[in-house]
Amino acid sequence: MYILGISALYHDSAAALICDGEIIAAAQEERFTRVKHDLSIPRKAVRYCLKEAEISVNELEAVVFYDNPILTLDRFLHNLAAAGEDTQDLLEASFEELFSKKIWIHKLLKSRLKLPEQTKILVCEHHISHGASAFYPSPYEDAAIITMDGVGEWATTTIGYGNKNEVKIIQQINYPHSIGLLYSAFTYFCGFKVNSGDYKLMGLAPYGKPVYYDLIKKYLIDIKADGSYRLNLDYFDFQYGRAMTNDKFAELFGGSRREPESVITRREMDMASSVQKVIDEVLILTAKTARTITGAKNLVMAGGVALNCVANGKLLKEKIFDHIWIQPASGDAGGALGCALYAYYHYYGNERVRLHKSDSQRGSYLGPAYTDEEIREYLEYNGYKYHQYENIDEFYKMVADMICEEKVIGLFQGRMEFGPRALGNRSIIGDASSEKMQSLINLKIKYRESFRPFAPSVLAEDLHSYFDLSSEDSPYMLLCADVREEIKKPFDLDALFEQTNLDMLPIVNTPRSTIPAVTHVDYSARIQTVSEERNPDYYRMIKKLKEVTGKSVIINTSFNVRGEPIVCTPEDAYLCFMRTQMDVLILNHFVLLKEEQVPLVEEKDWRIQYELD
Amino acid sequence: MNWTNENREKEQDLLRRWAENRSDRFPGIEQEETSYFIEKDSDERYIMDYTFDTLPELQKLFDKILADDIEEEVKMICGVAALKRSDILDQNNRMNIVEHRYMF
């Protein structure tokens, strides 16, 4: 039984295909269209999923949409009613999209995906889609479920329970009260983009101090002991279809919003730190309540807030649950997977059979792969100079040597990752022990803000040699923990700030540990553990580095430049390689050296193609 | 019924006037409360078949899903607004994410 799940029309559109409960393929539309956060009906992602399974649309049992449009309409109408005489912006922002697209989702899917007229179309509640995406692929028989995001229909936070093939929501918090929207408000006010810049705020937080924490709790949010909360709407404007915050919010923080791309000041750093502390608190209290009301020993999570790996790391430390599993595609894209799985287990009443020792997410390597033959053809056709390695050991040795030489490598191999994180198949990698690597990759390769940290990929068995993570693994880069004491170097952020007059670049270039390129200014790191089971190629590559150097940690950042979706095809990878100061490109076992390539000549400046995120 | 593109703004105006008259309030902060969680007691709408072609069929969906406090008159306005826009399906306008407000 093939079921296709779809997310679209809100944030990240995606398609996911399952067969008899097994995940066959999943991908975000942006990877194919090259439009970051593309929210249109994911035609190309669907085409890929069907191709992967070698089926046509005629063989689909059902197509499931991850959100119920009429429930969204219900929220819209109540929002209008609450806006009273101030409905103009709300109507302009939502009316046409709602009545011309969302309500017509069944027709849109049929026409855009060329589905047969008799195709069964199902709609699934937004937070059930998230909850199902977290529970069904998890390794647990039963688990408490927490979902948190901006809003889906009405719900913004839910506590649920999953057991065998059932998923249910027990209690929830409804719009407009939303921890996700609170975070988005701070993202917006600090000069980053709503819907796409939240992770920048998270990266900024360690530079600041939570000096506004009390202020936020006094004026903006009331948090109860069980983790439930309400916002003080006097300080926000999102409920009127306008910008996230209003003048009163600005007054509270001593002035207007930071202009995008302008200098980041102490205020933004402290605001980021303060709201992070609030998120941590809400998540931990909610988890305690979830544990109490479900009695479950395991927790699974999804929703955009579950991508906050700092809060996840703190939650893990609290040891409220024995085990935690987080859906790697926790944002809206993952809803495509969740709604398909929910249809299979709940709507069609199938038994949940767990076929895998760990989880059934397949390492989240659920996107397209390219064979050596396809890559050779591509390189030959374009006349690009390459070296092919037949001997795998020699290949890994070459990669290890390049890393030691502080080369920056674009790594393209195997199936593309599903979710926002590159996990070794569409990654830029480099030497984690290099002191210059963080600013080099940020400024000359990714063309992004210098303050942003990089994540480490570490061999799973060496996790505790480098990091103080109270978990056996972190395969999806969703948990933060400090580097171990013995590898830390003295680092006084306050003193450096005074010396540098808040200039972040010299701070970034000051080593904090023996792996400075992946150690944030508060000694934290966003860890990916690499195991042979989930990604044998990537594992062996790092293993060889360990043999050569004794080190088993490398930098892993997504293979893209700022504003560009992560690369999908060899062509995307080659273009990104040539447009930046990357030294080496690896396409499966083909190696391309920058100095051997003919410089790229493009008619248009590629920077215009990718709007800054 | 023959739905046309004429007067597409009419339903927006009707909803605007309706909202002005309702002037509801979202629940706010209440210090005496111990919890803001809402119990979820029904799973009827977790997943459902979704199809309609006509106004009566859409009205049936509204009856099933919209809250009881949404008046019949408003359901009709929404139904008409949707049916008037069925032709949009033939267009393939790219939707772009916005950067200053949340997409909902």
Residue-wise DSSP of A241-274: TS-SB-HHHHHHTTSPPPPTTS---HHHHHHHHH
Residue A551 has pLDDT above 60, yes or no: yes
Query: Strands A426-431 and A409-412: what pairing?
Result: antiparallel
- Find out whether A476 and A560 touch, Cβ atoms under 8 Å: no
pLDDT grade for B42, boundaries at 50, 70 and 90: confident
Q: Could you tell me the CA-to-CA distances from A489 to A206, A339, A433, A484, A524 in Å, in that order?
A: 17, 47, 12, 10, 13
**A350 contacts chain B (CB < 8 A):** no
- Inter-chain touch B19–A111, beta carbons under 8 Å: no
Q: Which residues pair with B47 in a beta bridge?
A: A124
Q: Return the residue of A nearest to B77 by Cα.
A: A99
pLDDT grade for A358, boundaries at 50, 70 and 90: confident
Residue A57 has pLDDT above 50, yes or no: yes
CB nearest to A78's CB, from B24, B92, B102: B24
Q: Residue range A137-165: average pLDDT? A: 97
**B13 contacts chain A (CB < 8 A):** no
- Inter-chain touch B100–A39, beta carbons under 8 Å: no
Q: Residue range A56-73: average pLDDT? A: 98
Q: What pLDDT is stored for residue B20 in this prediction?
A: 94
Which amino acid, residue A558? S
**A125 contacts chain B (CB < 8 A):** yes
**A165 contacts chain B (CB < 8 A):** no
Q: Which residues pair with A19 in a beta bridge?
A: A2, A22
Q: Tell me the nearest-neighbour CA distance from A249 into chain B, angstroms.
A: 15
Query: For all residues of chain A together, what is the average pLDDT?
Result: 95
- Eight-state DSSP code of residue A219: I
CB < 8 Å from B in window 73-112 of A: 73-75, 77-78, 80-85, 87-88, 91, 93-97, 99-101, 103-108, 111-112
- Eight-state DSSP code of residue A507: H
The whole model's pTM is what?
Answer: 0.96
**SS3 category, A5:** strand
Q: Residue range A110-126: average pLDDT? A: 96
Q: What pLDDT is stored for residue A355 in this prediction?
A: 61
Candidates A167, A80, A77, A93; CA nearest to A127 is: A167
Which range among A96-100, A187-191, A278-282, A421-425 shows the weakest confidence by mean pLDDT? A96-100
Cα B104 to Cα B94: distance, rounded to the nearest angstrom: 17
- Find out whether A232 and A222 touch, Cβ atoms under 8 Å: yes
Q: Tens of pLDDT along B45-67?
A: 899 999 999 999 999 999 999 99
**B38 contacts chain A (CB < 8 A):** yes
- Inter-chain touch A184–B19, beta carbons under 8 Å: no
Q: At what angle do helices A88-97 and B9-22 cross, to 10 degrees?
A: 130
Residue A357 has pLDDT above 80, yes or no: no
Cα A295 to Cα A321: distance, rounded to the nearest angstrom: 10
Q: Tell me the nearest-neighbour CA distance from A327 into chain B, angstroms.
A: 20
Q: Residue range A446-451: average pLDDT? A: 80
pLDDT grade for A603, boundaries at 50, 70 and 90: confident
Q: What pLDDT is stored for residue B92 in this prediction?
A: 59
Chain centroid to Cα A57, Å, comes to 29
**% chain B with pLDDT above 70:** 79
Candidates B103, B23, B4, B21; CA nearest to A244 is: B103
Q: Answer with the residue of higher pLDDT: B70 or A607.
A: B70
Cα A132 to Cα A231: distance, rounded to the nearest angstrom: 27
**A169 contacts chain B (CB < 8 A):** yes
Which amino acid, residue B103? M
Region of A557 on the Ramachandran plot (φ > 0 left; ψ -120 to 50 alpha; else beta): beta
Q: Answer with the residue of higher pLDDT: A197 or A291.
A: A291
Element at B63 (helix H, strand E): helix B55-65
Q: What pLDDT is stored for residue A414 in this prediction?
A: 98
**A119 contacts chain B (CB < 8 A):** no
- Eight-state DSSP code of residue A413: -
**A117 contacts chain B (CB < 8 A):** no
- Find out whether A137 and A360 touch, Cβ atoms under 8 Å: yes
- Find out whether A527 and A477 touch, Cβ atoms under 8 Å: yes
**A123 contacts chain B (CB < 8 A):** yes
Residues A402/A406/A412/A418 CA torsion (nearest 10 deg): 140
Cα A207 to Cα A217: distance, rounded to the nearest angstrom: 21
* Buried/exposed A171-188: b ≥16 CB within 10 Å, e otherwise: bbbbbbbbbbbbbbbbbb
Residue A354 has pLDDT above 80, yes or no: no
Q: What pLDDT is stored for residue B99 in this prediction?
A: 67
The backbone torsions φ and ψ at residue A483, rounded to the nearest 5 degrees and listed phi first, read -70, 160
- Inter-chain touch B47–A346, beta carbons under 8 Å: yes
Q: What pLDDT is stored for residue A183 in this prediction?
A: 97
Strands across the sheet with B38-39, in order? A323-326, A298-302, A142-152, A155-163, A166-174, B38-39
Q: Tell me the nearest-neighbour CA distance from B32 into chain A, angstroms.
A: 10
Q: Return the residue of A nearest to B36 by Cα.
A: A228
Q: Tell me the nearest-neighbour CA distance from A408 into chain B, angstroms.
A: 31
CB < 8 Å from A in window 46-65 of B: 46-52, 58, 61-62, 64-65
Q: Tens of pLDDT along A452-492?
A: 889 999 999 999 999 999 998 999 999 999 999 999 999 99
Q: Residue range A433-460: average pLDDT? A: 87
- Inter-chain touch B82–A230, beta carbons under 8 Å: no
**B32 contacts chain A (CB < 8 A):** no
Instruction: Extract the tokens encoding A529.
Output: 């553990």
**A257 contacts chain B (CB < 8 A):** no
Residue A422 has pLDDT above 80, yes or no: yes
Cα A385 to Cα A376: distance, rounded to the nearest angstrom: 11
Residue B2 has pLDDT above 50, yes or no: no
**B26 contacts chain A (CB < 8 A):** yes
Q: What pLDDT is stored for residue A612 in this prediction?
A: 72
Cα A605 to Cα A45: distance, rounded to the nearest angstrom: 27
Candidates A478, A371, A467, A359; CA nearest to A423 is: A478
Name, in order, each residue with C-beta under 8 angstroms of A555's C-beta and a sequence gap of 6 or more. Answer: A428, A429, A430, A431, A432, A437, A438, A441, A454, A455, A456, A457, A517, A518
Sign (positive or negative) of CA dihedral A124, A127, A129, A131: negative
Q: Tens of pLDDT along A487-522?
A: 999 999 999 888 887 788 888 888 999 999 999 999
Residue A166 has pLDDT above 70, yes or no: yes
Q: Answer with the residue of higher pLDDT: A506 or A426.
A: A426
pLDDT grade for A563, boundaries at 50, 70 and 90: confident
Beta strand segments in A359-418, E? 387-388, 409-412
**Which residues of chain A have a CB within 8 Å of the CB of B16?**
80, 87-88, 91
**B92 contacts chain A (CB < 8 A):** yes
Q: Residue range A253-278: average pLDDT? A: 96
Residue A601 has pLDDT above 90, yes or no: no
CB nearest to A40's CB, from B36, B70, B95: B95
Residue-by-residue DSSP string for A426-449: EEEEEETT-SSHHHHIIIIIS---
Alpha helices in A473-524 (DSSP H): 493-500, 504-508
Cα A198 to Cα A131: distance, rounded to the nearest angstrom: 21
Q: Could you tell me the CA-to-CA distances from A6 to A66, A175, A341, A364, B94 in Å, in that order?
A: 6, 23, 11, 17, 17
- Eight-state DSSP code of residue B95: P
Q: Tens of pLDDT along A202-219?
A: 999 999 999 999 999 999
CB nearest to B101's CB, from A75, A93, A158: A93
Which range among A202-211, A263-272, A346-355, A483-492 shows the weakest confidence by mean pLDDT? A346-355
Cα A180 to Cα A158: distance, rounded to the nearest angstrom: 12
Q: Tell me the nearest-neighbour CA distance from B72 into chain A, angstroms.
A: 13
- Find out whether A60 and A340 touch, Cβ atoms under 8 Å: no
Q: Tens of pLDDT along A75-85?
A: 999 999 999 99
Strands across the sheet with A2-7, in order? A22-28, A14-19, A2-7, A60-65, A121-124, B47-49
Residue B1 has pLDDT above 50, yes or no: no
Element at A181 (helix H, strand E): helix A179-189
- Inter-chain touch A104–B89, beta carbons under 8 Å: yes
**Which residues of chain B have a CB within 8 Å of the CB of A106?**
50-52
Q: What pLDDT is stored for residue A507 in this prediction?
A: 86
Q: What is the ipTM of this complex?
A: 0.93
Cα A155 to Cα A177: distance, rounded to the nearest angstrom: 9
Residue A609 has pLDDT above 90, yes or no: no
Q: What pLDDT is stored for residue B89 in this prediction?
A: 65
